[in-house]
Chains A and B, each alone.
Chain A
Amino acid sequence: MQPAPTLAARLKDAGLAAGVALLLAIPFIGLTTVNTDQGLSVATRWPWVGYAVAAVFAGRLLAGYLRDALAGRASAATSARNVLPTGETARRLGRGFVIAGIGFAAVMPFLPFSDRYILDLGTTALIYVLLGMGLNVTVGLAGLLDLGFVAFYAIGAYTFALLAKFAGLGFWLSLPLSGLVAALFAVLLSLPILRLRGDYLAIVTLGFGEITRIVILNWQSLTGGPNGVAGIPRPSLFGISFERRPPEGQVSFHELTGIAFSSEHRMMFLYFIILVLVLAASWAVWRLRRLPIGRAWEALREDEIACRSLGINPTAAKVSAYATGAMLGGLAGCFFSARQGFVSPESFTFIESAIILAIVVLGGMGSQIGVVIAALFIVLLPEFAREFADYRMLLFGAAMILIMVWRPGGLLSGRDPTLRLSDRRSPPPAATESL
């Protein structure tokens, strides 16, 4: 262990950081331009520069002491990075956690603290879980970096919106169709770009995401352009509607049961639809991972050349990974349309793709529990920061950086391989962090 730095060294380090902070603060915190009638004029906020520089100085000094204290403790224990249990214990813990989580999610709407706001938040979080699971197949399992996943979300959402508008189809019929259409687009996209790898693939998917949004924005006659599509029908339960005035041929829930009408029932119903969708998707992905195709995905992620030598068809594996991921994205999009009753291109910007990717990476690539935890985290964090109103997204960005610096492999990085030849004899291979 290195000797702790002297006070003078610490002060010098913090002083340097404060100097950089001064340079950074002058043009943006110290000076600002104000729009006036005669054009722009400059305003100054010098006291704020002083606060910022002082904060950086103190923060750097404290962080230095804190890091040394933590390092001392970590070297006493085995390693700070591997606090998560592995092997059999982890599997048992994981299973208990999953059962408890599902149980809680199922009874949550009936618990006393649950209200419209909590239900709404839960539904949003579950949409992101579903999206995260979709992207997890492409990025986490098959190792194909996709920066335009929001395109499949948008395609699913617009498939339902347009089917309802032009063909009068309902939610339940549109749901599988949305998934299929999204998967079809994924196949069409993936065929020409299978030769690409790594970052080239990422940028093409990014381009595809932007193209989808721009086409939706500009194809006025079909999609309504920036005005979007409104009046999307709400889902019903075997012909039972949750609206105050049910559409033709349906009975309403409050008339049928005699319970006074409340729009909260509809929100509860939506919440259960997405919960069931998430559970079904997660079960399907969990099973798929054990099928030859799922094993091919994971093998592809680890080493494409080895895969090819062992007789796995990389093309089939890639296309199927894209299609499966996109299908889940399309289902999430269809549900999103049904929940909002309105879609517009604004909901499908690049930042959504970035957030979904952040969920997959924060959760730990390939880990399904990780996706759930990260999705909850990403959706709830801005809500808790609501008091800071304007500062929410600033804190969100900062949190993304801090979490990555703290745990570069994601929250659940010590994951086990899905399949292992023999538990006893072979030592578990080290978890790789490469793409």
Chain B
Amino acid sequence: MDGAALGLGTFLQHLINGLTLGAIYGLIAIGYTMVYGIIRMINFAHGEIYMLGAFVAVTGFTLLSALGVQSVALGLIVVLAASILFTAAYGWTVERVAYRPLRGSGRLAPLISAIGMSIFLQNYVMLTQGARPKPLQPVLSGGITLWQGETFALGITYIQAFIIVLTVALMASFTVLIARTPLGRAQRACEQDRTMAALLGINVDRTISLTFVMGASLAAVAGVLVTMYYGVVDFYIGFLAGLKAFTAAVLGGIGSLPGAMLGGLLIGLIEAFFTGYVSGAYKDVAAFSILILVLVLRPTGLLGRPDIEKV
């Protein structure tokens, strides 16, 4: 076996790992970007929403195995549905309690409120679920070997395949939802001009609430997927994942849906390749440095629309 083939194999393996990670970041990033697009605020508690989704998944899988449910497909559907239901309820409540009273009072007040909410949710989960990491039995094991060398095997696990396929399906249906349905139209209208949208009979409050519910649902899916992928969850995972997903949203151009997906994939790939080829300790430095570089060269992100300044 020659070195070039091994090099290519390693490269493809990092690519698969990076795509998996990027898919998860992309799902979380959509929540940031949609909320930013519609009410121009950084929802700092969104990372915690994703963490809540992961915890529902841990409880759900444990409960199902205690009840003796053997079918993986049934288990996945039940846990995904439960996680989406409960996490979306949290997303709705967070907006209602911490952000809606602050609408129209500058940009910093909601930001501080969001940081407070993030601290609150982290400690809430730590108190109710315990501070120790939760290790979970693998739900879906095994994989496909794509290429078998003498010392090296290129493969994709079933979980990775599931994550990538589910994410692509979700993103495609989401694009259609935003582009074609009345709800998507209402969202885009509110994004452009909330007062005008309200005058034209759109229920702005309801549209914003639904935006939070949709963002939280996608974060819940990301939480379930990451629980299956890594098999361990603790109350602190929301912070870094949220930070990177937000970085992804900004990288792609905040407010832009395809931008969030692209940004998520890029951050995942950067992380995987940097870990594989340079150093694992500095992978977050790489992600943030590239963010700064992109913003310096293209201040509105890769796919963002330029912010026109009005006098």
Chain A residues packing against B (C-beta within 8 Å): 20, 23-24, 26-29, 31-35, 39-42, 139, 145, 192-193, 195-200, 202-204, 206-208, 210-211, 214-215, 217-218, 305-306, 350-351, 354, 357-358, 361-362, 365, 390-391, 393-394, 396-401, 404-405, 408-409, 433-435
- Interchain CA distance A393-B235 in the complex, whole Å: 14
Q: Cβ of A207 and Cβ of B105 under 8 Å apart?
A: no
**Which of A20, A193, A218, A433 is within 8 Å of B296, CB to CB?**
A193
Say yes or no: A24-B90 contact (C-beta < 8 A), given A145-B108, A192-B296, A361-B108. Answer: yes
- Interchain CA distance A192-B52 in the complex, whole Å: 37
Say yes or no: A404-B113 contact (C-beta < 8 A), given A199-B254, A305-B309. Answer: yes
Residue of B nearest to A349 (CB): B239
Q: Cβ of A199 and Cβ of B42 under 8 Å apart?
A: yes
**Which of B59, B113, B128, B130 is within 8 Å of A405, CB to CB?**
B113
- Interchain CA distance A195-B101 in the complex, whole Å: 32
Q: What 0/1 readout, one digit per residue, does chain B (272-302) give for beta carbons within 8 Å of chain A? A: 0000000001101100110110011001110
Say yes or no: A397-B117 contact (C-beta < 8 A), given A27-B56, A200-B250, A357-B112. Answer: yes
Residues of chain B with a CB closer than 8 A to A203's CB = 42, 246-247, 250, 291, 295
Known: A20-B93, A358-B115. 19 other contacts (CB 8 A): A20-B89, A35-B134, A39-B62, A40-B58, A199-B42, A203-B247, A203-B291, A207-B247, A211-B288, A357-B111, A365-B108, A400-B112, A400-B113, A401-B113, A404-B109, A404-B112, A404-B116, A405-B113, A408-B109
Q: Cβ of A218 and Cβ of B120 under 8 Å apart?
A: no
Residues of chain A with a CB closer than 8 A to B299's CB = 195-197, 200
Residues of chain A with a CB closer than 8 A to B291's CB = 203-204, 207
Residues of chain B with a CB closer than 8 A to A391's CB = 123, 127
Residues of chain A with a CB closer than 8 A to B93's CB = 20, 24
The main secondary structure of chain B at its interface with chain A is: helix
The main secondary structure of chain A at its interface with chain B is: helix
- The reply to whether the CB of B185 lies closer than 8 angstroms to some CB of chain A is no
- The reply to whether the CB of B149 lies closer than 8 angstroms to some CB of chain A is no
What 9 A-B pairs have minimum CB-CB distances, sorted nearest first?
A400-B116, A397-B120, A397-B119, A408-B105, A207-B288, A408-B109, A433-B106, A394-B123, A404-B113
Chain B residues packing against A (C-beta within 8 Å): 36, 42, 52, 55-56, 58-59, 62-63, 66, 82, 85-86, 89-90, 92-93, 97-98, 101-102, 105-113, 115-125, 127-130, 132, 134-137, 239, 243, 246-247, 250, 254, 281-282, 284-285, 288-289, 291-292, 295-296, 299-301, 307, 309, 311
Q: Cβ of A405 and Cβ of B98 under 8 Å apart?
A: yes
**6 pairs across A/B with beta carbons < 8 Å?**
A28-B55, A41-B62, A193-B292, A207-B288, A210-B284, A408-B109
Residues of chain A with a CB closer than 8 A to B136's CB = 39-40
Q: Cβ of B86 and Cβ of A26 under 8 Å apart?
A: yes
Residue of B nearest to A393 (CB): B123
Residues of chain A with a CB closer than 8 A to B127's CB = 390-391, 394
Say yes or no: A399-B116 contact (C-beta < 8 A), given A33-B59, A199-B254, A404-B102. Answer: yes
- Interchain CA distance A339-B183 in the complex, whole Å: 57
Residues of chain A with a CB closer than 8 A to B109's CB = 361, 404, 408-409, 433
Q: Cβ of A204 and Cβ of B102 under 8 Å apart?
A: no
Residue of B nearest to A433 (CB): B106
- Interchain CA distance A396-B120 in the complex, whole Å: 7
Q: Cβ of B295 and Cβ of A401 under 8 Å apart?
A: no
Residues of chain A with a CB closer than 8 A to B82's CB = 27
- Interchain CA distance A361-B114 in the complex, whole Å: 13
Say yes or no: A435-B106 contact (C-beta < 8 A), given A32-B129, A41-B62, A400-B113. Answer: yes
- Interchain CA distance A405-B97 in the complex, whole Å: 9
Q: Cβ of B129 and Cβ of A408 under 8 Å apart?
A: no
- Interchain CA distance A396-B117 in the complex, whole Å: 10
**Which of A32, A211, A400 is within 8 Å of B119, CB to CB?**
A400
Residues of chain A with a CB closer than 8 A to B92's CB = 20
Residue of B nearest to A394 (CB): B123
Q: Cβ of A401 and Cβ of B120 under 8 Å apart?
A: yes
Task: Name the distance in Å between A371's Cβ and chain B's nearest Cβ.
Answer: 14
**Which of A32, A214, A305 is within 8 Å of B285, CB to CB?**
A214
Say yes or no: A433-B105 contact (C-beta < 8 A), given A39-B137, A211-B288, A401-B116. Answer: yes
Residues of chain B with a CB closer than 8 A to A145's CB = 107-108
Say yes or no: A28-B108 contact (C-beta < 8 A), given A204-B292, A210-B243, A211-B285. Answer: no
Most buried by A among B59, B112, B137, B309: B112
- Interchain CA distance A134-B66 in the complex, whole Å: 55
Residues of chain A with a CB closer than 8 A to B56's CB = 27
Task: Name the distance in Å between B141's Cβ and chain A's nearest Cβ.
Answer: 15
Residues of chain A with a CB closer than 8 A to B132's CB = 35
Task: Name the distance in Å between B309's Cβ and chain A's nearest Cβ.
Answer: 7
- Interchain CA distance A305-B136 in the complex, whole Å: 55
Q: Cβ of A408 and Cβ of B106 under 8 Å apart?
A: yes
- Interchain CA distance A400-B44 in the complex, whole Å: 13
Q: Cβ of B282 and Cβ of A28 under 8 Å apart?
A: no
Residues of chain A with a CB closer than 8 A to B52's CB = 28
- Interchain CA distance A26-B90 in the complex, whole Å: 12
Task: Name the distance in Å between B212's Cβ and chain A's nearest Cβ.
Answer: 14
Task: Name the distance in Å between A153's Cβ and chain B's nearest Cβ.
Answer: 17
Q: Cβ of B112 and Cβ of A362 under 8 Å apart?
A: yes
Q: Cβ of B120 and Cβ of A409 under 8 Å apart?
A: no
Residues of chain A with a CB closer than 8 A to B105's CB = 408-409, 433
- Interchain CA distance A394-B106 in the complex, whole Å: 25
Residues of chain B with a CB closer than 8 A to A195's CB = 296, 299
Q: Cβ of A394 and Cβ of B120 under 8 Å apart?
A: yes
Q: Cβ of A42 and Cβ of B63 under 8 Å apart?
A: yes
Residues of chain B with a CB closer than 8 A to A32's CB = 59, 128-130
Q: Cβ of A29 and Cβ of B107 under 8 Å apart?
A: no
Say yes or no: A208-B292 contact (C-beta < 8 A), given A40-B58, A199-B36. Answer: yes
